[in-house]
Amino acid sequence: MMNFKLNQADGGNARRTIDGVGVAMCLALTGLLYAVGVHPLLEQRREQQALSREVVTEQDEVAMLTASLMEVRRKYVQVQREVADNALRLEPLSALNRRVAELTEMARGAGLAVNGVRPGRATTNEHYRTVPVQVAGDGSFYAVERFLKQLYEQMPDVGVWSLQLERRGSDLEMDPQYQIDLVWYAAPPTE
């Protein structure tokens, strides 16, 4: 054990010096403990908290994306069912003459005079073929409207590409000329 004898003559300055050195050593030791032990632990804890927040955010995003994926899958299954229930059965290209005859009869039944029905050249796509069909003749706007309504209801595999109505001359008693360009969707070729 160290024995320090303090001289009373210095007025307690030695004691204050020793107290000051002790305080300085305590502060230095505390700083060293903080720098070596506490500070790295606090930094590590801050990093872990940041990573934990990031993990929670990522988990929330994964949950949201999973819910979105489930909704898309549900809708996909629903659309597949609807397509299967309402599937349009396309006819083969060999039914073209019959379809032309049906279009002619439908136009006449709607009150149109048919001057010509001309099918065009078929175009093949991956899932269907398209055949342009031009129907031309004379008839009123109302007869054309009836024809298009019947076409929509009875032949869902035929679409309207264009429609022209043209008055001939100044005679208002004469029916205008019409030209309807249709597209018939036929079955793709079988392999």
**With the CA atoms of 94, 96, 101 and 107 taken in that order, what torsion angle do they form, in degrees rounded to the nearest 10?**
150
Residue located via tokens 């076409």: 151
- At 39 the pLDDT is 74
Residue located via tokens 């050249």: 121
- At 174 the pLDDT is 78
CA 191 – CA 189 distance, rounded (Å): 6
CA 175 – CA 143 distance, rounded (Å): 10
State residue 138 phi and psi, 5-degree precision. -120, 145
CA 14 – CA 3 distance, rounded (Å): 14
Residue located via tokens 């629903």: 78
The two tokens of residue 35 are 């720098």
- At 14 the pLDDT is 58
- At 105 the pLDDT is 97
CA 50 – CA 61 distance, rounded (Å): 17
Q: Mean pLDDT of residues grouped by 10 in the chain (191 residues)?
A: 51 66 80 77 86 90 92 89 76 93 96 95 91 95 95 93 86 84 91 65
Region of residue 12 (phi > 0: left; psi between -120 and 50: alpha; otherwise: beta): left
**DSSP character at residue 156:** T
The two tokens of residue 47 are 């990093």
